Structure 1
Amino acid sequence: MTCALVSKQWFSVVKERSKLSLLCKSIKKLQGEFLENIENLRLERNNRFFDCQIIGLMKGLTVLSAENCIGTEGVKHICKMNNLTKLNIERNEIGEEGAKYISKMKQLTELNVGWNGIGKEGVEFISELKNLTLLEIEACRICDEGAKSISELKQLTHLNISYNNISNLGSKYLTELKQLTVLTLCDCNISEEGCKYISELNQLTDLDISNNDIGCNGVEYISGMKQLLFLYIYGTNMYPTELQKISEMKQVTNLNISWNYVGDEGAKYISDMKQLTKLEVVRSDISTEGAKHISELKQLTDLNIGENNIGGEGAIAISKMNQLRILDISDNNIGGIGAEHVSQMKQLTHLDISHNCIGNYGAKRINTMKLVFLSK
């Protein structure tokens, strides 16, 4: 009898003090005494059979990720969770109605409502969440007026508004967000005028303006942002002239200039950025000479130079970068000789050397490497 009493008391203590995180793949697993102790719940994507009423039993839930598995009906239950502060409901087709329910959750500080097509009216509802510091709202059919509504969220520090048609006027509205440090507006129909507005965000340290036709003047505006540390500017039709301006951003540590006309001349300019630790130059018309220029970046730890044509000699130059830990050199025609030299990079933890026709000899040499990840 005494043992039973002690066990019951200990169970009560454990139940009271346990804080749980859970990845749920099946609704059948969400049963039992400890539902109210779950603080962090991630539902497996595309789990359309999930019963959102069960979430109502999770009184302690503060973080919920439910991508493509709840729909508007699920949002009706979720909006009653008063302790939730971080919510991811990406790709749930919640529309304007779902956004209206979400707007009741005034306690939210982080929200991902991307790929939901909430439109102008939906964004107006989201703009009522004045405690948000992080908002991901990409691909939601937002235009300039939607950007204006978002600009009312003065406390935002992180904003992802990619794949919307916010254009230059929308960019102007976003300049009112004086707390922003991270801004992502990939593929947003922004031109050089929009870049001029964005360059006024002097507090930004992380900017992704990829897949926009920003032009030479747009690049010049961006290159003047001396506080940026992370810059993603791929697919913007840049030539070596523009890259010369980018190379003047001596403070940048992470740079993605993929899918531009970099060439060997552009690679030479980039080699002046001695503070870079991560560089992505995928499909950028780089040959052997360009690879040699890039190999001068002795501080790089992460390099993606895939889908160029650096050849065996280029691979030899890259293999001398002893500080590299992550290397993607795929689709570069490096052959067996190039693979042999890459295999000597014993410090690598991740390597993609696929689509290079390295042959049996090259494959044998690569197999001697002790890697966490390998694609060949």
Structure 2
Amino acid sequence: MGGGDIEGAIPVEVYRKLTNLELLALNGNRLEMEIASEIGGLRSLTHVDISYNNLGETTLPSELGLLSDLEFIQCFFCQLAGTLPTEIGKCTNLEIVSFASNFIGGTIPTEIGQLNTSLRHLNLNTNNLEAGPIPSVLFRLTQLTTLSLFSNSFRGPAFPSEMLSNLTNLENLDLGRMSLTGTIPTTELSVWAPSLITLYLSVNSISGTIPTEVGALTRLETLGLDQNNISGSLPSELGLLSSLQRLYLWEGNRLLSRRDVPPELERLLRENAVCKFESDCDSGADYEARHF
């Protein structure tokens, strides 16, 4: 029923009659409703997608914790409010969680750490999550390949030591538009060399220089470092990033002039037609998609 013209609310009786339902796809409709607590009775659910609806700043019901078979839940652009329920930690088969572009506040519950053997994709970007350091419980999710916290209120170190030592499977890391500090790690970057595709740290307060070790990230397609406090020259090792498609460096930093680009990087920018400014690269839809 995704992408249709369903309006209003889903009658509670529907939940009570579809107890064997495995996939609930209501995305892209015109629903205006709360997520009924009766959803907890759909014990066979593995996939839930109610994105792109107007849920009227409703909250996620604690009954989600009854869905022990749930593998996928996606609810972005829904006007969800409240906090993430602690009961989400009971959904130990969850692999993909996306609550992006809502009004969710409070803290990330420690119970989410119970998903450490299953969760691969966590997208909480563009919410109102409580200010403070990136919660250490996230670093227990050792199977994560995608972590997006873009545009929340986190502050403190951008690269806590636990992140570097535990999240060794990351392919996409998006920590842009927050208040993160510190420098880009040097030798620790090699942990991510086999896998990292996206490293997006734009619009923070990261300082120091770009380390030569960044050249080890040969799978990298997007590197976003603009609008920070980064200074110094560009390492020639950036020219080793043969998969690069987007490189955001110059705006808002204290780097040397663009006329001082190393020849290795200049050649890569030309051969890959690398996009250098976000305003030139993507439409609004593409921009949202890049934040997972």
Q: TM-score, normalised by structure 2?
A: 0.69
Maintained 8 Å contact 2:89/2:114: yes
Give the deviation of 1:99 after TM superposition. 8.2
Residues 129 and 114 (structure 1 numbering): CA distance in 2 closer, same or farther, change over 3 Å?
A: farther
1:248 partner SS: helix
What's 1:219 paired with?
Answer: 135
Residue 71 in structure 1 maps to residue 5 in structure 2: yes
Residues 71 and 124 (structure 1 numbering): CA distance in 2 closer, same or farther, change over 3 Å?
A: farther
CA displacement 1:133-169 (0-9 Å, x = unmatched): 221234624645x4224333332101124552241xx
What's 2:97 paired with?
Answer: 183
What does residue range 133-148 of structure 1 map to in structure 2 within 5 Å?
A: 133-138=46-51, 140-141=55-56, 143-144=58-59, 146-148=60-62
How many Å separate the matches in 1 of 2:57 and 2:33?
5
Residues 320 and 340 (structure 1 numbering): CA distance in 2 closer, same or farther, change over 3 Å?
A: closer
* Higher RCO by CA contacts (8 Å cutoff, separation 6 or greater): 2
What does residue range 198-277 of structure 1 map to in structure 2 within 5 Å?
A: 198-202=112-116, 203-210=118-125, 211=127, 212-213=129-130, 215-216=132-133, 219-235=135-151, 236-240=153-157, 243-253=160-170, 254-263=172-181, 265-268=182-185, 271-272=188-189, 274-275=191-192, 276-277=195-196
Residue 95 in structure 1 maps to residue 11 in structure 2: no
- Tell me which of 259, 265, 288 is aligned to 1:342: 265
What's 1:157 paired with?
Answer: 71
Which range moves more in the overlay, 170-179 or 182-191? Answer: 182-191
Structure having the higher helix fraction is 1
How many Å separate the matches in 2 of 1:142 and 1:351?
40
Give the deviation of 1:294 after TM superposition. 6.2
Residue 284 in structure 1 maps to residue 204 in structure 2: yes
Residues 113 and 196 (structure 1 numbering): CA distance in 2 closer, same or farther, change over 3 Å?
A: same
What's 2:287 paired with?
Answer: none
What does residue range 17-32 of structure 1 map to in structure 2 within 5 Å?
A: none
How many Å separate the matches in 2 of 1:355 and 1:180?
33
Maintained 8 Å contact 1:259/1:281: yes
Give the deviation of 1:283 after TM superposition. 1.6
Give the deviation of 1:96 after TM superposition. 1.0
One-letter amino acid of the counterpart of residue 176, structure 2: S
How many Å separate the matches in 2 of 1:152 and 1:244?
34
Give the deviation of 1:342 after TM superposition. 3.4
How many Å separate the matches in 2 of 1:197 and 1:181?
15
Give 5+ residue unaligned stretches, structure 1: 1-63, 73-93, 357-376
What's 1:195 paired with?
Answer: 109
One-letter amino acid of the counterpart of residue 251, structure 2: N
How many Å separate the matches in 1 of 2:221 and 2:49?
26
CA displacement 1:260-288 (0-9 Å, x = unmatched): 3344x33127953522512111222345x
What's 2:282 paired with?
Answer: none
How many Å separate the matches in 2 of 1:243 and 1:130?
38
One-letter amino acid of the counterpart of residue 143, structure 2: Q
How many Å separate the matches in 2 of 1:258 and 1:148?
30
Residues 311 and 321 (structure 1 numbering): CA distance in 2 closer, same or farther, change over 3 Å?
A: farther
2:90 partner SS: coil
One-letter amino acid of the counterpart of residue 200, structure 1: Q
1:255 partner SS: strand
What's 2:45 paired with?
Answer: 132
Larger Rg: 1
Residues 119 and 345 (structure 1 numbering): CA distance in 2 closer, same or farther, change over 3 Å?
A: same
- Tell me which of 195, 214, 225 is aligned to 1:295: 214
One-letter amino acid of the counterpart of residue 133, structure 1: T
How many Å separate the matches in 2 of 1:347 and 1:99?
58
1:272 partner SS: helix
CA displacement 1:147-195 (0-9 Å, x = unmatched): 224333332101124552241xx42122221211111234553444x33
How many Å separate the matches in 1 of 2:105 and 2:265?
40
Residues 191 and 107 (structure 1 numbering): CA distance in 2 closer, same or farther, change over 3 Å?
A: closer
Give 5+ residue unaligned stretches, structure 2: 280-292
How many Å separate the matches in 2 of 1:311 and 1:305?
15
2:261 partner SS: helix
CA displacement 1:207-253 (0-9 Å, x = unmatched): 2233422633x621211222323222233423227633322324232
Maintained 8 Å contact 2:168/2:191: no
How many Å separate the matches in 1 of 2:251 and 2:226?
6
2:179 partner SS: coil
How many Å separate the matches in 2 of 1:262 and 1:355?
20
Residues 297 and 99 (structure 1 numbering): CA distance in 2 closer, same or farther, change over 3 Å?
A: farther
